[in-house]
A and B are shown apart, each in its own frame.
Chain A
Amino acid sequence: MKKGKISSYDRLTRNIALTVITVSLAPLILVGGVIFDQFRSIYEEKVYSHLSEVVDKHATNIDAFLRDKLYEIQYLNTAYSYEQLTSAEFLDETLRGMQQQFGRIFVDFGVIDAHGRQVAYAGPFKLLGADYSNADWYRKSRDRNAYVSDVFEGLRQSPHFIITINNGKGERAWTLRATVDFLAFSHLVENIRIGKTGFAYILNDQGVFQTKPHEDQAEKLVLTPGKRIETAGAEGGVTIRHSEGSDGEIYITVSSPLNGGNWELVYQQSLGDAFSDMIRAEYVVLIIFALGGLGIVAMAVLVSRKLVGRCRAMDKESELMNRQMVETGKLAAIGELAAGIAHEINNPVAIMIEEAGWVGDLLKDEAPPMPSRGEIDRALNQVVTQGRRCKDITHKLLSFARQTDPRVTEVSLPALIREVVELSMQPAKYGHVDFSLNLDQDMPPVAASMSELQQVFLNLVNNSIQAMEADGGVLTLGCSRQGNDAVVTVQDTGPGIPAANLGRIFDPFFTTKPVGKGSGLGLSICFGIIHQMGGDIEVESAVGVGTKFTVRLPFPPPADQQERQQEMYHD
């Protein structure tokens, strides 16, 4: 029963805590999740659109650069004749002029005849007469008016690319070519640096690097193109992909076509780096969320425990009250029963007394002198006397049963104690307990409920008698005045109470009697009654010597005494 009760409280605690946690965390998680998701998609959108804008802008720049260079060469081609351009001095002068004008972007100029032989050259290398008929770039450029080659090392063993313009037809065909400085070109792309891992490079249609890759970039990193990301903010022609790197990281690649689709500008950045700000923000949010969640859980557990603790205390209190009420009800029922029995006994006793009286009457008037007349009279008297004794007992029982009255009246303690002693005579006799009364007859009355006080002293006296039942003993009752208190002592010569139990005897339900014999409420009710009257009850006990209960009750402040005191002060 007790165990089941405890577990039901635990279950209640758990249920309250779980409910509170669920109710508070569920909306938090829901709202948090939605905001989290929104924030993430907005931020991703922003990052992608920013990257695509950067890449697009640079692609436009690079395209513009290439177009400019092409136009410049085209201008030379149309402004000057074949004869002028094949003149070494003129070509040299033109190159220097261009370099002065635009910086060292053009490395060299050359004119190639229909057979792929360089017939004129201006520049730092000795390439006059070089045969380009088998060069990849030369062959690709043949069927086009203007052509920008891929980057290659070529004869000079250093990376560069070539712009070619074709003129004429058949045997009269000739080609103007210009080499663009690779470093100057690379520079255009190297400027694109974002975060720790973000950088750009250019690939041709075969996927060969057209610019120097970043030094930190491991040459061996291989990207496997992954899913294409569609974003609203992406510029036209820009493609964004998630690619898996050979180092296990996911990379974002943003690419845009260059040079009429022959090349591709690629910007690459690791996903973690691109979204580092977002990830940091997410971590902060998650930590706050986790801490908040922990706080909620802790509070829920704490609050539910406190709540259930309060419930448990209240349950205990109400259980105690119920038990006390049952006990009081039991007392009242016993009282009623006693009253009924007493009433019923009175009638036969009355008849017995009357009959004895009748016999006496008859004997007095009619009987002849008998030798045992004296003995007969004595016997009849005894019947009458014992009948009266019965009457006294029943009257006492009746008066006790009637006194369930909590009204406060003036109570004379010596009289009350005598009454209690008389009521306890019978059990005392069986227990071989002798009473010793030490009552101060002149003490003033106390203000209390007669029936409640009677209950207290009957309880104490009965307890003492029960304690001494085995071996008999002396029960000493005393009352006296000590200062402003009336003091009643109930002292027995019983076995005493062990020190371990002494502190608990006024606790409700504490009993050392066998199950069913005592409710453990008697002394706690006494304690309650005495304290309600503003008094105090104490116990002293020594094992093997006996136990002494001392009840202190305050005297009501006597009105005349107060007046007298006031007079004295006035004097």
Chain B
Amino acid sequence: MTWTDTERPAVRLLIVDDEAGFTDVLCKRMARRGVNATSVSCGEDAVQVLRRAEFDVAIVDLKLQGMDGVEILKVFKLMAPEMPVIMLTGHGSDEAREACMKLGAEGYLSKPVDFELLFVKTLHWGAGRATA
């Protein structure tokens, strides 16, 4: 499946990760490919942002200061049950993956993630909602 700028609706992506170096470059690369990415560094900010705007897909780091990824996932699923959430983690254990999947996460990827894979997943989960 190939995507071109004209065919594709702009996917709105919310990235929650406290690694600014990582989120900055991720946002830039996503933007270059037509994904409208917003990044926040903690769960509290994410909740604020999600209150004001709507997103088609979210990428959430599992290990964060304050609210951790699992708690954010729970809040997201309450605030925007339709929004797919892809979990991203430094290292993935089977238990954490199962817990996240049970809570309704749509994906579970481990860092360092292949950007192309992440992009495809974002489009896959986000584009469906953007068109709908």
Contact = CB atoms under 8 A, between A and B. Distances in A.
Contact of A351 (B22, B93, B110): B22
Interface of A: 339, 342-344, 346-355, 357-358, 361-362, 365, 387-388, 390-391, 394-395, 398, 402
Contacts of A350: 19, 22, 111-113
Contacts of B21: 348, 351, 355
Given A350-B19, A402-B93, A391 B32 contact: no
A339 B22 CA distance: 21
Taking each of B19, B91, B112, which has the highest tally of chain A beta carbons within 10 Å of its own beta carbon? Answer: B112
B74 interface: no
Given A343-B91, A346-B90, A388 B25 contact: no
Nearest to A357: B115
> Per DSSP, are chain A's interface residues mostly helix, strand or loop, or mixed?
helix
Interface string B66-104: 000000000000000000000000110100000000000
A402 B110 CA distance: 16
A398 B91 contact: yes
A347 B25 contact: no
Given A351-B25, A398-B91, A365 B32 contact: yes
Contacts of B28: 358
B91 A351 contact: no
Contacts, number: 57
A387 to B, nearest CB: 6
A489 B100 CA distance: 42
A343 B88 CA distance: 13
B111 A361 contact: no
B127 interface: no
B112 A346 contact: yes
Contact of B91 (A349, A362, A387, A394): A394
A346 B32 contact: no
28 contacts: A343-B90, A343-B91, A346-B90, A346-B91, A347-B19, A347-B22, A347-B90, A348-B21, A349-B112, A350-B19, A350-B111, A350-B113, A351-B19, A351-B21, A352-B112, A353-B112, A354-B26, A354-B29, A354-B112, A357-B25, A357-B115, A358-B29, A361-B29, A361-B32, A362-B32, A391-B112, A395-B91, A395-B110
B119 to A, nearest CB: 10
Closest 3 CB pairs of A and B: A350-B112, A354-B25, A351-B21
Contacts of A347: 19, 22, 90, 111
Contacts of B113: 350
A388 B90 CA distance: 13
